[in-house]
Amino acid sequence: NKYSKEDVLRISNEQGVEFIHLQFCDIFGILKNVSIPIEELDKALNNELMFDGSSIDGFVRIEESDMYLRPDTDTFVIFPWRTSSGVEARLICDIYNPDGTPFEGDPRFVLRRNIEEAKKLGFDAMNVGPECEFYMFLTDEKGNPTTVTQDSANYFDMAPVDLGESARKEMVSTLKQMGFDIEASHHEVGPGQHEIDFKYDNALTTADNIMTFKMVVRIIAQKHGLHATFMPKPVHRIAGSGMHMNQSLTKDGKNAFYDPEGPMELSQYCYYYIGGLMKHAKALTAVTNSIVNSYKRLVSGFEAPVYIAWSGRNRSPLIRIPAKRGNSTRIELRSPDPTNNPYLALSVALAAGLDGIKNKILPPKAVDRNIYKMGRSELEDLNIERLPASLEEALIELEKDEVIKNALGSHVYNKFVEAKWAEWNSYRNYVTQWEIEQYLTKF
Ligand code: ADP
Ligand code: MG
Ligand code: MG
Ligand code: MG
Ligand code: MG
């Protein structure tokens, strides 16, 4: 373990920490905060801190609302930025019932449970490296976010500094101060679109890191007068924001997807894992692409996947095998977007891959050609199916898939589908600007 309870208390005192944010995440991937003054830290570290679970979306009913927060001391970090209340730190927490059992609606617990399944099959860890994309938009005179970027706003052409680039630089340096190992950061294809990649780690740490990453990106953008958004498709006809998930398993401390003797230097485990992901791809999309807007990104022409296929070469299929081998051997799942709940998204991906390994599911042949350019009959001949085209289709698939439902557990599954059907129906009833433009004068 990185930090003991005593370490956290000592460092907090040494650094003059005044407030601690106890963080956790709801089923929908929204970061929650319970802030406590430093005087309460000891109590919190003894797991004596209670909060009202009924106040959190998708958690529990009022009658059973008492929940306990158990801070994970390894997640202790002091915020490098200062606020009016001085030095602040945070701890990510697990959520427990009053009887001392883990709360099954806690996404972090769901991921822990799936990681245990991997251990039972002899894998020490799932490693994940995410590639988070996001847009930074200008805010108007009132400070409200627009969908105009500095790149596209020509009245800003004369601005001496590029707001987006300097915001991204500060994001990178802030993340580094918080212990992130940043591997790359660059402007993406869309105007105002950026990507920051950090080094892979075990699945639980990476899910925590993704939550922290999104928080930092928003805070730093705001400091620069910009609004950062992880919305998958904020602007029509312009590339959406994804969050590719690079993943691998380790066995006996070694990368279990690498086999110098195997076809393409990939192990049997790797092929089965791909087979499992492909088998459950439709259902798990409801979790990895969990909002109405996610499906406006999963369309052809923008490097986002539309078809369920894999390739060692090109970037149009759902799963790509990057060229690196040895310890870097991994598969890249290209469908997820950064609005998902990372704990749940990693849970369903892992469960799908493990199902492939358990049942020796072989993937179909790799498709090394551009799938976007194939006609319908060719797709049918090659047996290439497409991903769900809407949240509705994805939910229907999720309801049919026992492996993915099990990965979520009944509590999370029930709350998730209930809320997501409500979200879909609310959208379905809405009359959009597109319909007005198309039909109002025509009929
Ligand atoms: P791309 O070529 O798709 O743009 P990037 O270089 O942007 O990929 O990101 C690669 C990601 O994969 C990084 O987060 C990196 O840490 C991660 N990665 C590297 N090796 C592994 C591995 N063995 N398992 C999981 N992720 C890995
Ligand atoms: Mg990348
Ligand atoms: Mg790259
Ligand atoms: Mg990218
Ligand atoms: Mg990628």
**pLDDT at residue number 160:** 54
Task: Name the token pair of 341.
Answer: 């709940």
| Of 332, 315, 333, the residue nearest 324 (C-alpha) | 332
In tens, the pLDDT along 95-108 reads 999 899 999 999 99
**pLDDT at residue number 158:** 47
* Rounded distance between C-alpha atoms, residue 178 and residue 205, angstroms: 13
Query: Hey, whose CA ends up nearest to atom 11 of ligand 1?
Result: 129
- DSSP strand pairing (125-138 vs 243-251): antiparallel
SS3 232: coil
315 catalytic? Reply is yes
In tens, the pLDDT along 270-326 reads 999 999 999 999 999 999 999 999 999 999 888 899 999 999 988 789 999 999 999
Whether residue 328 has its Cβ less than 6 Å from ligand 1: yes
**pLDDT at residue number 63:** 60
* Rounded distance between C-alpha atoms, residue 134 and residue 213, angstroms: 11
Residue 75 pLDDT greater than 90, yes or no? yes
Catalytic position from the list 72, 108, 194, 195: 195
| Of 59, 67, 64, the residue nearest 22 (C-alpha) | 67
Backbone torsion region of residue 187, taken as left when φ is above 0, otherwise alpha when ψ lies between -120 and 50, otherwise beta = beta
Whether residue 183 has its Cβ less than 6 Å from ligand 1: yes
Whole-number Å distance, alpha carbon 315 to ligand 5 midpoint, is 8
| 119 vs 369, higher pLDDT | 119
Q: Which residue has the tokens 């086999």?
A: 259
| Of 241, 377, 229, the residue nearest 303 (C-alpha) | 241
> Mean pLDDT of all residues in the chain?
93
Nearby residues for ligand 4 (ion, Cβ within 5 Å): 195
Task: Give mean pLDDT, residues 135-164.
Answer: 76
Residue 157 pLDDT greater than 60, yes or no? no
Whole-number percent of the chain with pLDDT over 70: 96
Query: Hey, whose CA ends up nearest to atom 4 of ligand 1?
Result: 131
**pLDDT at residue number 159:** 54
- Mutating to test ligand 1, I would choose from 196, 210, 246 the residue with most ligand atoms within 8 A of its C-beta, which is 246
CB atoms within 10 A of CB 213: 24
- DSSP strand pairing (182-187 vs 201-202): unpaired
Task: Give mean pLDDT, residues 346-350.
Answer: 98
Q: Yes or no: say if 349 and 247 are a contact pair by the CB < 8 Å rule.
A: yes
Catalytic position from the list 133, 337, 392, 401: 133
Give 160's contacts (C-beta < 8 A, 6+ positions apart): none
Residue 154 pLDDT greater than 60, yes or no? no
- Mutating to test ligand 1, I would choose from 270, 330, 335, 346 the residue with most ligand atoms within 8 A of its C-beta, which is 330
Task: Name the token pair of 70.
Answer: 């158990």
Catalytic position from the list 315, 385, 402, 435: 315
| Of 195, 140, 133, 191, the residue nearest 162 (C-alpha) | 191
What separation, in Å, do the N-terminal and C-terminal C-alpha atoms of the chain show? 67
**pLDDT at residue number 313:** 82
CB atoms within 10 A of CB 98: 12
Task: Give mean pLDDT, residues 47-67.
Answer: 76
Task: Name the token pair of 412.
Answer: 């999370």
Task: Name the token pair of 179.
Answer: 């212990």
Instruction: For residue 120, give the H/E element and its range.
Output: helix 107-120
In tens, the pLDDT along 79-127 reads 999 888 789 999 999 999 989 999 999 999 999 999 999 999 999 999 9
Instruction: For residue 182, give the H/E element and its range.
Output: strand 182-187
Query: Hey, whose CA ends up nearest to atom 12 of ligand 1?
Result: 129
Task: Give mean pLDDT, residues 13-38.
Answer: 95
ipTM of the predicted structure?
0.96
Among 156-170, 293-307, 399-413, the least confident range: 156-170
